């Protein structure tokens, strides 16, 4: 009897570990929040306190939270302006509840409270998507089954009494086998690892015009050494301290060989060190000055980033404050199958806007009247 009970407990523990799907995000004050680690949630504070070895992340677990047992759990920061003096400080969590996979859970980081927003899918698959959250309009754009979708979160810091709805924007120009890598910057969606593009090139969807830029945009590596590889990986945007639209995003190839930071205003790329832990199942989230990696074993690492200076000497380091509060599992990072899609969270990953320019970014240009190189009407 004792043996059977012990085995049952071990199996239950193993199943809980396998089904856990944590994620990390930042609030608008750049405190690092980790959700679903060992079934709990934590606030690790700002970057300056992560690696001192003297601080332990504080637990913020409270009622109403999702179980974090979904198949494609992703977190997004809403930094949307409510008015000239107040900004939203909400974390949206998608696919975090296996029993209610279409719900969007909202964590109000100011009130420290959770609520679950009911969402009607209208054909959108919440188990298979990549998405970004547009900074200015607080609208999600997601790619699922070769379709582009959007979901308007308005100014929500808490769930409403009525359901929201996913809306189908239209077909994407990509082949059925394309596993999307999406990231938001300068109010445009950047698509990486697009078939038939050269290394360093990306496709761009201009949100304000619901229009695909007719030509890919090149982002060469500064100094002329190499290019962003055209391969699957993980992308997330760096937020701005002044709450303007993101201008930089990070891309980490699935092999973890390097970290590429793309500046969409100068159309250039900086190559930085790859993460110390090479984990194809890791997820990423960025603030204004940090890129955080959460590995499949629950370990958190970060790469400091200076948006206005040199980053040549930047190195990855463990976030000791989180490890002290929620030690990573002994299970090593797996090199199993690729995750479905990679999205920039708010980033994002992976991760919509109001009335901007038709140009993609920096020196690239385009007008919605010039048609599409993809040979189909622009989405509307």
CATH classification at residue 191 = 2.120.10.80
Do 305 and 36 contact (CB within 8 A), yes or no? no
Q: What is the pLDDT of residue 53?
A: 74
Question: Is 156 a member of any domain?
Answer: yes
Q: What is the pLDDT of residue 378?
A: 30
Question: Is 302 a member of any domain?
Answer: yes
- DSSP character for 337? S
Beta-bridge partner residues of 250: 236, 261
Do 58 and 43 contact (CB within 8 A), yes or no? yes
Beta-bridge partner residues of 75: 93
CA–CA distance, 38 with 24 (Å, rounded to integer): 13
Question: Is 1 a member of any domain?
Answer: no
Question: Is 223 a member of any domain?
Answer: yes
H helices, E strands: number in the chain: 2, 28
By C-alpha distance, which of 276, 259, 279, 256 is closest to 335?
279
Question: Is 376 a member of any domain?
Answer: no
Contacts (Cβ under 8 Å, ≥6 apart) of 323? 299, 300
> Which structural domain, as residue segments, surrounds residue 230?
26-370
**This prediction's pTM:** 0.85
Q: Quick one: residue 176, left, alpha or beta (phi over 0 = left, psi -120 to 50 = alpha)? A: alpha
Find the angle CA(3)-CA(5)-CA(10) to the nearest 5 degrees: 95
Beta-bridge partner residues of 317: 302
**9 phi and psi angles, rounded to 5 deg:** -65, -40
By C-alpha distance, which of 93, 112, 116, 103 is closest to 42?
112
Q: What is the DSSP string of 56-112?
A: -PEE---TT------SS-EEEEE--BSSSS-B--EEEEES--TTSTT-EEEEETTTT
**What is the domain count for the chain?**
1
Q: What is the DSSP string of 264-320?
A: TTTTEEEEEEPPSS--TT-EEEE-SSEEEEE-TTS-EEEEE--TTS--TT---EE-H
Q: Can you tell me which residue has the tokens 């001192």? A: 52
- What is the C-alpha radius of gyration for the chain, rounded to an integer number of angstroms? 20
CA–CA distance, 118 with 153 (Å, rounded to integer): 12
Do 184 and 346 contact (CB within 8 A), yes or no? yes
Per-residue pLDDT of the chain (380 residues; tens, 9 = 90+): 444 444 444 344 444 444 579 999 999 999 999 999 999 999 999 999 998 777 899 999 999 999 999 988 999 999 977 666 667 899 999 999 999 999 999 999 999 999 999 999 999 999 999 999 999 999 999 999 999 999 999 999 999 989 999 999 999 999 999 999 999 999 999 999 999 999 999 999 999 999 999 999 999 998 777 899 999 999 999 999 999 999 999 999 999 999 999 999 999 999 999 999 999 999 999 999 999 999 999 999 999 999 988 888 899 999 999 999 999 984 333 333 444 566 655 433 333 333 233 333 343 334 443 333 333 333 32
Cβ neighbour number for residue 199 with a 10 Å cutoff: 13
Question: Is 10 a member of any domain?
Answer: no
Do 120 and 109 contact (CB within 8 A), yes or no? no
Question: Is 14 a member of any domain?
Answer: no
Q: What is the pLDDT of residue 356?
A: 30
CA–CA distance, 77 with 238 (Å, rounded to integer): 11
* Residues composing the chain: 380
Question: Is 4 a member of any domain?
Answer: no
């Amino acid at each position: 009897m004792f043996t059977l009970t012990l085995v049952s407990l071990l199996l239950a523990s193993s199943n809980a570990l396998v089904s856990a799907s944590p994620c990390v995000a930042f609030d608008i004050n750049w405190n690092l929040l980790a959700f679903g680690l060992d079934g709990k949630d934590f606030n690790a504070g700002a970057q300056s306190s992560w690696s001192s070895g003297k601080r332990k992340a504080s637990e913020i677990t409270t009622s109403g939270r999702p179980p974090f047992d979904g198949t494609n759990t992703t977190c997004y920061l809403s930094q949307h302006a409510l008015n000239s003096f107040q900004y939203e400080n909400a974390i949206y969590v998608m696919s975090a509840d296996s029993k209610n996979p279409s719900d969007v859970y909202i964590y109000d980081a100011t009130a420290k409270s959770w609520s679950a927003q009911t969402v009607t899918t209208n054909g959108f698959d919440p188990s298979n998507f990549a998405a970004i959250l547009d900074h200015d309009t607080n609208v999600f754009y997601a790619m699922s089954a070769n379709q582009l979708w959007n979901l308007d979160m308005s100014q929500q810091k808490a769930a409403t009494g009525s359901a929201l709805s996913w809306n189908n924007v239209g077909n994407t120009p990509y082949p059925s086998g394309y596993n999307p890598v999406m990231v938001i910057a300068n109010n445009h969606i950047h698509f990486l690892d697009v078939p038939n593009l050269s290394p360093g090139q990306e496709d761009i969807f201009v949100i304000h015009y619901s229009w695909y830029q007719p030509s890919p945009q090149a982002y060469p590596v500064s100094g002329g050494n190499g290019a962003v590889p055209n391969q699957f990986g993980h992308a997330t945007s760096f937020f701005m301290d002044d709450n303007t639209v993101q201008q930089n995003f990070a891309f980490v190839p699935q092999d973890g060989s390097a970290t590429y930071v793309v500046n969409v205003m100068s159309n250039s790329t900086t190559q930085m060190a790859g993460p110390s832990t090479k984990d194809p199942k890791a997820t990423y989230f960025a603030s204004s000055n940090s890129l955080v990696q959460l590995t499949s074993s629950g370990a958190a690492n970060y790469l400091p980033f200076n948006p206005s200076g040199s980053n040549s000497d930047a190195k990855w380091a463990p976030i000791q404050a989180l490890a002290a509060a929620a030690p990573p599992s002994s299970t090593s990072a797996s090199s199993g199958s690729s995750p479905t899609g990679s999205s920039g969270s708010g980033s994002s990953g992976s991760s919509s806007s109001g009335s901007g320019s038709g140009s993609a970014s920096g020196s690239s240009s385009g007008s919605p009247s010039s048609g599409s190189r993809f040979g189909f009407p622009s989405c509307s």
